[in-house]
Structures are given as structure tokens and as C-alpha cells.
A and B are shown apart, each in its own frame.
Chain A
């Protein structure tokens, strides 16, 4: 009886000591100190989905169904007229000083690729006449190494399924289709260049392709490859690739997946993290960004904010160098799905944007008097 009593006391004391030492937890009062009022100040609805944001140096554009614009001097966001009344826009890019945007009707019908001078916004002044991107569903528009890449999805009525295409253009007028050795069964969601055995890397669902030429005339499937035996092979939405990044702050080609895994390619070999999990489930990683002011790589997630990857990590990447951000005190962003990031290095200091699904657009700014960065909701 006495022994049982002492044992209970020892167990209770051990548990209490463990908690009091706070071994594996986050300090709540310290976190509270870092809480700043989340200002919602620039007129953008706070619960919308923002897919992409781009900047021209003097103006920002945000694709959020509606296309929005504001000046870089923090004026309120204003909707931008679309080329067709009521058309929506989820993807934009700046290429050759022009704003490129993919539009679609409310019923989902693709209206194709448009471009305009971002200062004057006139979608009819310099129309794109290439049949490859006219009246098509535009999935992704991305400039890589001086070439613009555009993806489309087309319904094949014979096979009763979508076909996915990737085009490249050097001038914005002529579009060259990429040639895949095995046709992708999912839309291409990202492309990046990195000098190595291949120069151009493309992800589509759970497939990874690579090519040596910018016009992508010989995209070859890269997974599974011997160096990556654990790459997912079967198409599963929970295990598709999320994004690619040619990092300048931590040299290497980064690849994310929606099963908690991150890879890094150094030009010859791939390395990977152990699976990053929350409550035993792999984190759904999305797109990357180089955080040039802190010299780290950031990667978004679906539902868990974003993660910071420490620079110059030894290989393989370790979970210890992959840290979840922001603090839980940044309510609204901590558990958000981040579609993409954008960093504007023109102002001093830089401004980092996070486009979320359902939690609006966030920007991270520097508070001089507190010597710290914090997030604001636009």
C-alpha cells in the first residue's frame, strides 16, 4: 500500500517536473509578447482565396478570382477590369514588362491568355493571337530564365478526360508545345531551372519531368529514379508534388510534396528530409520562396501555415532544420493553406506576401522600433 502511494507520488512528480521544464512545448508567455494587432487595412476581403501576386515595382496585382491591383505605397486594393465582363482570374505573371493573365468564365469555360501594359490596363491593345492559348483553360503562367511557360487543360471528348499541355514562348506571341515522353495525367503546376544533368524541371501531379532545353522538346519522366526510390508513383492527391525552387540563398533545386517530404538537388544527387508530420500526418507542402532578407527558404503548406528551411543544410536535410511558422499567435495565417508567396525586394526592407486559400492576402513588414518582423492582413 505504502509502495503504491510512493509510486503514485513519484509518477505525479515526474510528470509535473516534465511539464514545468517545458521540454517539448512552446513558451506561451513568450509567444504572447510577440503578438501584434493584426491590422486589416488595405481593403481586401479577409476570407477570400488569393492564388498569386506579382509586382511591377510600382504596382502589385493579385489574382483572387477577381483581379486586384494596388500601388506599392499601400493604397487600398481595387478590382481591375477584365477583358470579358464577369471573367475571373486565378493566375498572373509579369513577362517582358507586360502583365499576363489567364481568364475564365464563372461556369469554368476557359477564356484564354491575355496581356496588357500594367500601367494602363487595356487587354485589347496587344492581343495574343496564338491558337494554343486562345480560349483555353489556363493553369499556370510562369517566367523562368527569360522564357514564359503557360499550361492549358483541354477536354478530350473522345477519351472523356482532360489533356494537359505546357507551352513555352520567348516573345509572348509564338507558343511552342512541350514534348513529354509520357503524357502527364495531371496539370503541370510548376517549372524551374537548375543547372545540372538537366536544366529544366517540371512537376505534374506526382510526376517529375526534366529537360535540357528551354523549349522543353524532350521532357523525360524522372520518377521513380534510382536515387529517389521512395518517390510516390501512383497518382494520389495527398502525395503529389507541391512546388519547385531554384534557391539562391541556399543553392540547390528544392522540391516539395504533399506527403510531408522535401527534396534538394545539388546538380548530381538528390537528398530528402524525413517526413515532416503534424499529429502523425505528413504536411502538405506547396510552393517555395527564397526569403532573401533572412537567407532561408520558405515553403507553404495546405493547412499548416508555412515552414522555414535552414540554409546550407547538410545532407540529408533534417527535420530539425525545418521549422513551422508563423507563431500560432498569428491567427488566420498559422493554419492557412498557402497557395504561393511573393517577395518584393524593391523597397527597403523587403516585403513578403503570402497568398492563402480562404484567409486572404498577408504581408510581412518590419517594425523598426521593435526590431522584428510581423504579419499584417491586407
Chain B
């Protein structure tokens, strides 16, 4: 049921994003191309992004990484958001910091939150007027569940974005980020949380 709901929400989101991107791309006057489209960024340029969208719980997995049994997360699809600051190291590479958050509930409506704080490295593929950053972030993740359980875990967030550059400063896009959250524990109680973030993003470069 949740997977169906996710699909129903994802498809229109992707469709809207691509439609808008292509429509604006077609309307871009040919006589006003961005100068040097393939060297947009130089060392020291900065970028701020804000993202908001869906948090999709996928599954929990027992250790080891390969072959561990999987279980339903018992969490509902809800909202995710993040703020990111980055500094360009070259036209293609960017390093940054990201603070994110998700809010959801379990199947009995007990609240569940995650707040990851990560450092992030991105490689940006340019395909004017689009950019496709491929990135991975890692850091700490604060999890709060129900009213009484709080833990700090490690998190790894690989993903990619598709950004349509409205102009040299502004970009709009879509993020697809996989959240891998290992919770190490003794007595066979360790599990790996696997989640998906699908968010729309607004990016400002300066």
C-alpha cells in the first residue's frame, strides 16, 4: 500500500519537474546564452540550497551488510527537508555541509524524527542548462523515537540531483538521496536503516 502511494506521489513529481524544466529551457532565448556554460564555477564560489519533499522508509536490515535479513521499517512516508551550504573547489567539484531532518510516525502514530548533520562531497556533471551533481554525504544522525528513545548514529547519504539553471545564480531541481543509517548494537540488536529522500530543491550560487 505504501509503495503504491509512493509511486503515485513520485511519478507526478518527476513529471512536473521535467515538464517545467524543459518548458523553460525551450523558452530560453538563444541569443542570451550563459557565457562559458561549461565553466560556471571556480574555486571559492559558494552555494546555498534548501530542499523539501518526501521521506520514504524502505526497510531495516540485520547485520551483516550482505545477506542480513530485512524487515519493514513500520514507519510511514512523510516529509523531509534540508539546508546545504557548499563551496566550489572547481567547476566540477564541490564540498559542503548539510543539515537535514525528517518527521514521520510509526504505524501506531508514535513520532519519529531524524536529524542528520553531514559533510558532503559532490561531483557536478554539466549538461546545459542542467547540472547533475552526484554526491555522498556522511556524518552523524540524531534519531528520536516515541518520547523516550534518542540515539546518535552514523549516516551515509549517497545520491544525485538534477538541477535546472534558471540563470547563473539560481537553480531549481530534484534530489534523490539514499539514507543508510547503521545502528551498531550488541546482542544481535544492531540494524541498518534504509530510507529514500525525494525532495525539490532551490539553489543559489554566489
The chain A residues found within 8 Å of chain B, CB to CB, are: 16, 19-22, 25-33, 35, 37-38, 328-329, 331, 334-335
Contacts and interface: CB of A to CB of B under 8 A. Distances in A.
A328 B149 contact: yes
A19 to B, nearest CB: 3
B66 to A, nearest CB: 18
A22 B181 CA distance: 14
26 contacts: A19-B140, A20-B153, A20-B154, A21-B184, A22-B151, A22-B184, A25-B150, A26-B151, A27-B151, A27-B185, A27-B189, A27-B190, A29-B60, A29-B181, A29-B193, A30-B190, A30-B191, A31-B149, A35-B74, A35-B107, A37-B107, A38-B108, A328-B148, A329-B108, A331-B110, A334-B148
What's the interface size class on B, roughly? 20 to 34
Contact of B152 (A20, A328, A329): A20
A331 B106 CA distance: 10
Task: Identify which of A19, A27, A32 gathers the most chain B CB atoms within 10 Å of its CB.
Answer: A32
Interface string B75-108: 1000000000000000000000000000000111
B57 to A, nearest CB: 9
A35 B104 CA distance: 15
A19 B152 contact: yes
Contact of B106 (A16, A19, A20, A32): A32
A280 B110 CA distance: 25
A368 to B, nearest CB: 18
Given A16-B152, A20-B153, A32-B60, A328 B147 contact: yes
Contacts of A30: 183, 185, 189-191
A35 B109 CA distance: 11
Nearest to B143: A28
A28 B184 contact: no
Given A19-B152, A19-B153, A37-B107, A329 B191 contact: no
Contacts of A25: 149-151
Contacts of A334: 146, 148
Contact of A29 (B146, B148, B154, B183): B183
Interface string B140-168: 10010111111111100000000000000
Contacts of B183: 22, 27-30
Contacts of A19: 140, 151-153
A32 B76 CA distance: 12
A11 B17 CA distance: 44
Contact of A33 (B71, B109, B149, B150): B71
Given A19-B152, A30-B191, A32-B106, 4 more contacts: A22-B183, A32-B75, A38-B108, A329-B146
Contacts of A28: 143, 145, 149, 151, 183
Given A16-B152, A22-B151, A25-B150, A31 B145 contact: yes
B73 interface: yes
B59 to A, nearest CB: 10
Contacts of A335: 147
A207 B185 CA distance: 45
Task: Identify which of B60, B107, B147, B149 gathers the most chain A CB atoms within 10 Å of its CB.
Answer: B149
Nearest to A33: B71
Contact of A20 (B60, B143, B150, B184): B184
Contacts of B192: 29
A38 B149 CA distance: 19
Contacts of A16: 140, 152
A146 B150 CA distance: 49
Contacts of B154: 20
Nearest to A32: B74
Contacts of A37: 107-108
A28 B147 CA distance: 12
Given A21-B184, A37-B107, A331-B108, A32 B147 contact: no
Interface in B164-206: 181, 183-185, 189-193
Contacts of B74: 32-33, 35
